[in-house]
Amino acid sequence: MLARLLVAVLLFTLPLPAMGAEVIVINGDPPGVGFNDPTPATPIGGNPGSTVGQQALNVFQFAADRWGANLISDQPIRIIAFFMPLACTPTSGVLGAAGAYYYFANVPAEPPGKALAANTWYPAALAEKITNQDIVVDPTEPFEIISFFNSELGKPGCLIGNGWYYGLDNQQPANRIDLLAVVLHEFGHGLGFSAGPTNTNTGARPVNFPSVWENYLLDVTSGKRWIDMTQTERAASARNDLNLVWAGPHASNVVPSVLAFGAELVALEPDTLGTNEAVPAAFGGTPPHLQGLVTAPNDGGGTSLRDGCEAFPPGSDTAGRIVLMDRGVCTFVQKALNAQNAGAIAAVIANNTVGLVSPAGVEPSIVIPVVGIAQALGAQLRATPTLADLRRNATTRAGTAFNLPRLYAPRTFASGSSVSHWDVTATPSLLMEPFITSDLTSSVKNPEDLTRRLLVDIGW
């Protein structure tokens, strides 16, 4: 039994066996475009390609080889890839997408493989690895993964001022997006970092078979795993922000070696706000045991007096204080710089929607601690000047609930992002988060990442 899917839009105590899998990128583009684009290009960042098309294809195969070196399978993994125009505007656009070409259930083993768990969907590459066979559906479409990436990035009308970085060294400049990191991410989805084919929006399952992911999706509010939920419960759990976690043993066991301790804002006087989770920024100093009065001074004007996007005027209530600002309008870095320049001892950025905010960016000159908090807490702090303690949480890792790694489950369902990504509260950033960040590494394994260990949980 099979289902076909075209996607639109990693320390365990024992060592793993020697790894190796052949991952093959198949150029799906016609002559003259995409991977066959003849536009001359200068070799960059270890990529020797002399044309734009060849450089892009080199990145794809480099990503495929990196995944192959971290997988165990005797079956070749074929990725049909297209480098083509995708939805794009001057300010936003689709970078890429990938998914399993097929999903399989109830496939018997070819010795020395194992049969798939009964009535459970597996992505094609994983199903073939487990059963030790090439599961042929249509000989003319012998693919395990399908991928699409945007060839128009940085061109007129598409994310103006940006563009792909084709280097293989993760040294992209500020106005370029690291193609390697994006390709590694999307290939991860095709290999099995996805709750599909279960519909995470509605909770529906093809022929009522669960995906292999449902064994490990745990809602800490209800205490139930998706495998034991009704369709309605799964749909609700996909929107249970900060409370949907991965309960697989391999990924959860390496949390301490991957994720940093989280941060918290503790209200001291008045103490009615209690202890509140905060998310350390990707930049700035490490939150110490720092006490100060939380204030929300008006900035110099602009769209909002509360966003910190303009320099705080002389005499503003910032020096020696923990400065509270709202998310939006300008970058997190700009807000933090304005607070630091005005003498703040720390910066707190409140979300402009439900859930926690994870301030992203890179700026070595920022040395004060910077954290993100929930919108509701921001409103409470504005209403009541509060003496607070900003500090590291000594027991809980950032991006976890009960020290199990969170999955992205915002209250407003995000098609293509919800459930099938790590949560944005993880620190440092993880490869399989829903949004690319400047501090994202191109690692797929521990100790830099949790991704491969999650794949081990589902059978890799």
273-288: b or e for each residue (b if 16 or more CB lie within 10 Å)? Answer: beebbbbbbbbbbebe
Which candidate, 430, 422, 393, places its Cα nearest to that of 405?
A: 422
Q: What is the pLDDT of residue 437?
A: 73
Which candidate, 416, 411, 350, places its Cα nearest to that of 86?
A: 416
Place of tokens 């705080």: 312
Q: What is the pLDDT of residue 442?
A: 67
Residues in Cβ contact with 59 at an 8 Å cutoff, skipping those fewer than 6 apart: 47, 166, 168, 179, 180, 183
Residues in Cβ contact with 69 at an 8 Å cutoff, skipping those fewer than 6 apart: 19, 20
Which candidate, 80, 79, 137, places its Cα nearest to that of 107?
A: 137
Pairing of strands 145-150, 77-84: parallel
Going from N- to C-terminal start, the domains of the chain cover 1-192, 214-259+401-460, 261-398
Residues in Cβ contact with 192 at an 8 Å cutoff, skipping those fewer than 6 apart: 100, 122, 123, 125, 126, 212, 455, 458, 459, 460
Q: Are 249 and 457 contacting, i.e. CB atoms less than 8 angstroms apart? A: yes
The amino acid sitting at 453 is: R
Beta strand ranges found along 351-402 (DSSP E): 370-373, 386-397, 400-401
What pairs with residue 3 in β-bridges?
103
Is 3.50.30.30 the CATH classification of the domain at 261-398?
yes
Q: How far is CA 52 from CA 176, 301, 349, in A?
A: 15, 44, 40
Q: How many CB atoms lie within 10 A of CB 448?
A: 16
In whole angstroms, give the CA distance from residue 452 to residue 169.
21
Could you say which residues of the chain have pLDDT below 70?
Answer: 1-19, 438-442, 445-447
Q: What is the pLDDT of residue 16?
A: 39
Q: What is the pLDDT of residue 287?
A: 75
Which candidate, 429, 450, 446, places its Cα nearest to that of 283?
A: 429
Q: What is the pLDDT of residue 290?
A: 94
Q: What is the pLDDT of residue 15?
A: 38
Q: What is the pLDDT of residue 188?
A: 97
Backbone angles phi, psi at 104, to 5 degrees: -125, 150
